[in-house]
Homo-oligomer: A and B are copies of this chain.
Amino acid sequence: MIKAELLSIGDELLIGQVVNTNVSTIGKLLCTIGIDTHRVTTVGDNKKDLLRAIKRAWKESDVVIATGGLGPTHDDISKKIVADFFGKKLVRHEPTLRQVRARFRKFGYATMPVANIGQADIPQGFTPLRNDQGTAPGLWYKQGKKVFIILPGVPHEMSWLMDKWVIPKLRKQYKDKASGVILHKVLHTSGVGESSLAEMIGDPQKFLGPGATLAYLPRIGGVRLRITVKSNTQAAAKKILLGVEKYIRAQAKQHIYGDDDVTLEETVVDLLLKKKQSVATAESCTAGMFAARLTNVPGATGVFPGGIVSYANEIKEKELNVPAKILKHYGAVSEETAILMAEHIRRKFGSTIGISITGIAGPTGGTKTKPVGTVWVALAQKGKKTKTQLLHNVGDRAMIRERSVEFALEFLRRALIEG
């Protein structure tokens, strides 16, 4: 098994200014070519710490992928330190310089800031990886069976370089090595807690084949089950994986809504398409978040005409026909209002289903009877009684809104399955 270590470089990661998404992007890609990420180390823009981290990673791993600190400004120190560690000089790489200059011209700059010339300086013996998304090339260095890679930290540049150069090169580099296979499968569940699900499924030692593991990953709205199998061949790994999956599905059946990278919104759009249904949205506290989630899925075009964000009460009145006396008597956050919103948007937008969300996301606006986190969701279907659900969401404003959307998606999924 080829072992990789990721090095994330940058003070912004340590002081919490930036969430490190690069690690998950790279980890996922390495899995697809059977490389095992065994550790991630994050250090600041600090010569001593970075040098130690490089030394340790290079010693203990086959592949090191470092990200960050390749930019044109003074705080970008990674390239110099990597060059020093390997005892290499920086030399100007003319094709890279031409490419960087061309990039500035393309974006309409008459001159290129001088600092960018340095982007074309490459440690001797390193291969530059052309970066079509920015000015800093990635760098690739092979020594015996080991590879050291350094990429810019800007997520879309890093991710482009991984796809375009790093993954194909790694695949080639290790192709004749009998490197095992790692397969993952994730089953998504909803409507059941972690420990109850574990009771339902039972002792993993009784059903996990050789090299297989099972992990429980709780999140807002559900628990994901991850099956991992490491084996020598693809066929062997697949067989073990299928056995475990079959067993788990038989135990937790009604709670599993999808697998792998399928998102809840993809499942919902899929069901809408299959059942020839469509949905329109009337959102208050979530203000477009439900519509935005649904349209993450390109296929939403066929099942989602649109929606109304009725943030102010006058919009609920004027655009969604919620009578002023209902708003006054029951309030904007009430079952009555939610029902009228869902039913009206369905008729107005000509969809088969209407969904509404109205609640108090906070931090202010809560009362004794309707504290922050109180949310009503309603689902209207032609010829059926409108379904409603009252939520008492916990967390901050962002979490209350996210949980509301998550629930509404699940509410819609259940309605679609049932009928």
Chain B residues within an 8 Å CB radius of A186: 17
Contact code string A278-311 (vs B, CB < 8 Å = 1, else 0): 0001010111111110111010110011111111
- Of B39, B75, B194, which contacts A42 at CB under 8 A? B39
- Of B38, B41, B290, B364, which contacts A39 at CB under 8 A? B41
Complex alpha-carbon distance, A296 and B401, angstroms? 9
Within 8 A of B (CB), among A156-193: 156, 182, 184, 186, 193
Interface centre among A28, A37, A213, A287 (most CB of B within 10 A): A287
Complex alpha-carbon distance, A152 and B28, angstroms? 23
Interface-facing stretch out of A7-15, A141-149, A407-415: A7-15
CB-based contact A315/B75 at 8 Å: no
Chain B residues within an 8 Å CB radius of A285: 295
CB-based contact A16/B24 at 8 Å: yes
With A186-B17, A288-B287 given, is the CB distance from A113 to B27 under 8 Å? no
| A291 to chain B: closest residue by CB | B288
Contact code string A105-117 (vs B, CB < 8 Å = 1, else 0): 0000100111110
- Of B193, B199, B305, B307, which contacts A288 at CB under 8 A? B307
Interface centre among A49, A319, A349 (most CB of B within 10 A): A349
Complex alpha-carbon distance, A233 and B210, angstroms? 58
CB-based contact A20/B24 at 8 Å: yes
Chain A contact residues: helix, strand, loop or mixed = mixed
Within 8 A of B (CB), among A8-58: 8, 10-21, 23-31, 37-45, 49, 53
Complex alpha-carbon distance, A301 and B113, angstroms? 43
Within 8 A of B (CB), among A350-386: 350, 361-364
| A114 to chain B: closest residue by CB | B199
| A304 to chain B: closest residue by CB | B311
CB-based contact A38/B49 at 8 Å: yes
Q: Which 7 A/B pairs are nearest by Cβ-Cβ distance?
A: A288-B288, A16-B28, A16-B27, A288-B291, A40-B42, A113-B195, A287-B295
